[in-house]
Structures are given as C-alpha cells and as structure tokens.
Structure 1
Amino acid sequence: MKERRYDLYGDQLRDKWLMVANNTKHKCDQILKDLLSQEKHLQLNQEDTQQLILWNRNTQVKIS
C-alpha cells in the first residue's frame, strides 16, 4: 500500500516537472522568435542569428 502511494507521488511529481519543462521550452522558443523578428532593430548578422538558434537548440533538454 505504501509503495503504491509513493509510485503515485512520483508520477505526479514527474508530471509536474514535465509541465514546467514544456512551459519553459515554449517560453524560450517564443523569446527567441520575438528576438529574431526584431533582427532589423538589433542589427544581428547571420552568424549571430545562427549562434542564437544553435544555443536554443542545445539548451533544449529531451525529456521522455
């Protein structure tokens, strides 16, 4: 009985962290899109833009 309760708690905790991770990923993607849409104002060159995209891709954690 206790073991099952801990399993449920672990599942709930995992689900909460998945939700946090997904929300964080979405927010990072949105910030990057907003930043790149203002490229003309920021005067980013192609190398800077590619570096931002690469950084964003590398910081995304794959959660299964």
Structure 2
Amino acid sequence: MFAVGQELYTDSDFKRALLVQVPVKVKCSNGEIPDSYGPIEEITLTTVKVAGMYFAKAVCRFFVR
C-alpha cells in the first residue's frame, strides 16, 4: 500500500496512513528534522498529529518510514 520513503501529499494519503497506522517521519521546511516519528494519531484541515505533537501541513512534509 505504501512504500518506504513515500511522501504523503493528499488528504486521502493521510487518511489511509491513519487507518493502517503506518509509521511516518516528519520533516519541517526550516531544515529542522524533529525527532518524531510514528503512526499518525489525528488529522485536521491544517495539522497532523504524530508522536503527541501537532505539525502544520503547510510547513512540514510527511514520509512513510
């Protein structure tokens, strides 16, 4: 369903990843790579919750781990 390293782009990608609890890695646009990875816990219109932290979709990228 997902390949390691695949970037999640669409709402459908995020919903499927949440459903199957695939682990994801978060990379933010400011160059910082937070030490956070794990399954998606929650999705809103503008944010994704991973490892207990909320990340803005507009400034972060999400990759299958």
Name the TM-score class by shorter chain: under 0.3
What is the TM-score of this pair, normalised by structure 1? 0.22
Name whichever structure is richer in helix by fraction.
1
What is the TM-score of this pair, normalised by structure 2? 0.22
